[in-house]
Amino acid sequence: MKNWQGRTLGWELRDGVVELTLHREPCNEIGTETLAELEKFVAALGAARSEAHAVIIYSSLKQGFSAGADLRELYSGMQGLPAGERAKGVRSFLERIHKVMNALDASPLPTIAAVHGVCFGGGFELALACDLIIADKLARFCFPELRLGLVPGFGGIPRLKRDLGNGIVRDLLLTGRSLNAARAHSVGLVSQLTAEGEALKVARATAAQMGKFDRETTAAAKRFAKPIPHDELRREIDLFCELFTRPAVEAGLKKFVESKEALPYLP
């Protein structure tokens, strides 16, 4: 697998571990450009099995892992389009991002999200597609989508339901509040909690440990322990598209995009 640098992310093979670095300012918002580069990444990952034993995803930006979907791009892209066209465009995006998330989820290589700072919305969904989340003490996890009149659209609810009890799923989803890393660790979302700035280092040590095991056995164990909820993921796309064309969504996005408040992620 050749090292590669794009405009929003890059990857390198380091000590048998594929490290995907997110680096799109301000906080790795996932729009069409990031999506295209993630597609490139999962295509390359398919060929990495002979050289690598694990994958780490992390952000090189101070603000955090990812603030989620690029809502500014989403809002500007929907302007002037009739409802039918809006739904068509968003469905196409969701189909593509789901393919990326599913490929990552199903990768025979164990995957680790090394998280610091903000891990919101689509960024949280990217972390949930990984096998382990290793987070530093200042990380926060949130699904703010309901505040915009939407549900998470990159596979968040089915994957969260797969991993956690339904009480905490409803708490995150229905309040839109963010959980700190300690709480996320206590409910089983985060597998290892680290000191500030140490998530990547701990993720590398964990990946090295994973490299001691037989790769076929690791892949079989992962398939057995982590079934992909395909039916629910399909239904999530339908639900998101159904909700997306309602006026409340455009109003919520407009408020977010035009906000000058210190906490604009809270519509």
Please give the residue ranges that form the binding site for other proteins (CB under 8 A): 27, 63-64, 117-118, 137-138, 140, 142, 175-183, 261-266
Nearest residue to 136 via CA among 152, 159, 155, 117? 117
Smallest distance from the beta carbon of 27 to other proteins, in angstroms?
Answer: 7
Closer residue to other proteins, CB minimum distance, 91 or 147: 147
Q: Give 47 or 182: the residue with its C-beta nearer to other proteins.
A: 182
How far is residue 25's CA from residue 46's CA, in Å, rounded to a whole number?
28
Nearer to other proteins, 194 or 218 (CB): 194
The SS3 of residue 100 is: helix
CB of 170 to other proteins, least distance (A): 14
Cα 240 from Cα 238, distance rounded (Å) = 6
Spatial distance between the Cα atoms of 264 and 86, rounded to a whole number of angstroms: 24
Taking the complex as a whole, the smallest distance from the CB of residue 176 to other proteins amounts, in Å, to 8
Nearer to other proteins, 10 or 176 (CB): 176
Is the CB of residue 158 less than 8 Å from the CB of residue 232?
Answer: yes
Shortest approach of other proteins to residue 143 CB, angstroms? 12
Closest CA to 32 of 109, 87, 112, 90: 90
